């Protein structure tokens, strides 16, 4: 529903290219599709927030490490209407940690 300027800078994709398409079809690497689906299913099943960390694919084929906070938003019947996900690009801090 939203792909802000920080997302555009991190990936090289414009919001117009991403919004309305499944994340697994755009920024989630193929080898993480199953784990991504499992996280989304767990959020739907438990209705609980879920902090995660994973990768995004960039337009140029690179990878960014993203730390996520995923929070379900419920409808009047208590069902998950949508999931609000906010992420922080931690690529540089992960790289620095790995180099120590």
What are the structural domain ranges in the chain? Answer: 5-99
Residue 13, phi then psi, degrees to nearest 5: -90, 145
State which fold the 5-99 domain adopts. Answer: Beta-Lactamase (3.30.450)
Burial (CB < 10 A; 0-12, 13-18, 19+), residue 56, is buried
User: pLDDT tens for residues 16-71?
Assistant: 999 999 888 899 999 999 999 999 999 999 999 989 999 999 999 999 999 999 99
Q: What pLDDT, on the 0 to 100 scale, is given for residue 24?
A: 85
User: pLDDT tens for residues 26-37?
Assistant: 999 999 999 999
Alpha helices in 12-90 (DSSP H): 15-18, 33-46
Place of tokens 């991403």: 18
């Amino acid at each position: 529903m939203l792909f802000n300027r920080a997302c555009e800078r991190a990936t090289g994709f414009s919001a117009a290219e991403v919004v309305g398409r499944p994340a697994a079809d755009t920024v989630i690497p193929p080898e993480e599709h199953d784990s991504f689906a499992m996280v989304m299913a767990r959020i739907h099943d438990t209705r609980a927030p879920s902090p995660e960390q994973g990768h995004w694919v960039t337009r140029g084929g690179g990878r960014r490490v993203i730390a996520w906070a995923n929070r379900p938003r419920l409808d009047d019947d208590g069902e998950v209407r949508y999931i609000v996900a906010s992420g922080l690009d931690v690529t540089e801090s992960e790289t620095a940690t790995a180099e120590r």
